[in-house]
Structure formats: structure tokens, C-alpha cells
Amino acid sequence: MPIKQILIFLLICNFSIAQRVKDTCMNIPIAPFHFSGQTPLGDMKNRFGDNLDVGAGFLYKFRKSWTLGVEGSYFFGRNVKDDVTKQMKNSEGFIVDNEGFPADLRITERGFTTYLLAGRVFPKLGHNPNSGLMINLGFGYMQHKIKLYDANKKIAAVKGDLAKGYDRLSGGFAMEQFIGYLFLSNNRLVNMIAGFEFHEGFTKSYRGFNYDTGLSDTKGRTDILIGFRIAWVLPLYKRTQDFYYN
């Protein structure tokens, strides 16, 4: 097929899809890639401060505006409130390495969530039949820990598996609620989701014992994250009709 006819074919397909997005409620698979800023509440606020979150997922928006999908996120931060290294510090408040020099021990937050999602888009509040107020509910898993990174590999107390006695690794069943706006443009150029997210993790320690306190850690936790999310959306439109050229 000559280049000119290929270009005409692509333009007609694009116009056909654009018209359907504007005028018709469609079955549309979408792949969102999101970024969030989050604040912890519940038991989590005693261990961590604000964090960032990145993730991706897959949603299928049905013609009747219901949605089903999956989602995974990775969250991280540098604001760790729980001082798990206090027993390692000298009288001057410094951690020293095996050679007696100030140690370079970096303490950060790491965690992730995974969910199965179900929800609905309310197109009457949107600019076309495929956009509008979006509400999603998710059920899945949350895990988080304090990461201790010995940059120079010279701190015996956190070498190898010993670091597990300080990392507070916790996990358990989690739920997510999201309310925001799904925007699928008529011309396919700008597609996004923006809104507020809420996570509740019903977690417990996977370590059972903390080296720094010398105490068992068996209490259940309610770990909450709230935040604002913005996502770039890749809609996987399906060609609706064939075109033939001589």
C-alpha cells in the first residue's frame, strides 16, 4: 500500500475512533501509569512521614461504565520517625563503624501495594460518554519496611541478615478507595486520571522480635495512607471497522 494511502487510512481510523469516543460509550482497555504524594495516618504515622508513590495498572472500562482491573504501586520516602538505630549510637549521638569512624548508614522507607479493582465511571458528569467521575474500590496486600543501607559495608550490627532485626518488615490485607476524574479526550491526545486515594493496611510484623528494643513485636497494625494521584492513561482502542483501498 503506497505511503499516501497508509496516511489516509490512519487518519480515517483516528477520526472514526475520535467520533466514537465523543459520541458513544465504549468498551475501552486502559493502562494508567500514576504518581502520588501520600501522608500516613493510623499506626503508620508513628513510623513514617510523607512519601511518594509510583505505579501502574490495567483497567477495563465496559460499555455500561463499570470498571475492573489490577494495580501495583511502590512507595518510598526518607522521613523515618522510628529511631531503630538508637542503641547503636555513642554518647555523642553518632553511629560508628567497625573501625571507630562515623558510619554512613542511610535509613529510608520502602513499601508496595497490590490490588484487584472494581469501580464505575459516571459519564453524566463528564465531557464525553467515556469520561467522568471515577470511583474504584480495591482489595489486596500492603507491605512496608525500614530499609537500612550501610554505604561502606562497615557496620557489623546491620551486616547481612542482622539488618532484619531492625527493619520492622510488616504486611497484610489492604483496601484502597479512589475518587477522581477520568479524562479521555475526543482527539486521543490527552488522557489522564486525577483524584484522591485512600489505603488501609491491616498488617503485622513479619520479624516478631526487634533487636533495638529487645521486645517481641506481635501487635496488629492499622496502617493508613491518603494522597493525591495523577496518572497518564494509555487507552488501547480497538479498530471498529475495516477500510479497503484499490
Grid cell for residue 138: 480495591
Q: What domains are defined for the chain? A: 3-235 (2.40.160.20)
Give per-residue pLDDT as tens, 145-193. 999 999 888 888 888 899 999 999 999 999 999 999 999 988 777 899 9
Q: Residue 236: what pLDDT? A: 81
| pLDDT score of 204 | 96
**Which pLDDT band holds residue 1 (cuts at 50, 70, 90)?**
low
Check residue 238 and give its pLDDT.
64
- What is the mean pLDDT of the segment spanning 94-104? 85
Confidence class of residue 48 from pLDDT cuts 50, 70 and 90? very high
pTM metric for this prediction: 0.84
User: Is 160 within 8 Å of 150 (Cβ atoms)?
Assistant: no
pLDDT at 33: 97
Cβ 174 vs Cβ 202: under 8 Å: yes
Distance CA(91)–CA(81), nearest Å, equals: 20
- pLDDT at position 124 is 82
Nearest to 119 by CA among 132, 140, 134, 141: 134
* HSE (side-chain half, CA atoms, 13 Å) at 23: 6
**How high is the pLDDT of residue 7?**
40
Overall average pLDDT of the 194-222 stretch: 94
pLDDT, one tens digit per residue, over 12-40 is 344 444 445 565 778 999 999 999 999 99
Residue 109: count of CB within 10 angstroms of its CB: 25
Phi-psi region of 163 (alpha: psi -120 to 50; beta: other; left: phi over 0): alpha
Kindly report the three-state secondary structure assignment for every residue of 157-185.
HHCHHHHHHCCCCEEEEEEEEEEEEEEEC
Nearest to 123 by CA among 112, 111, 132: 132
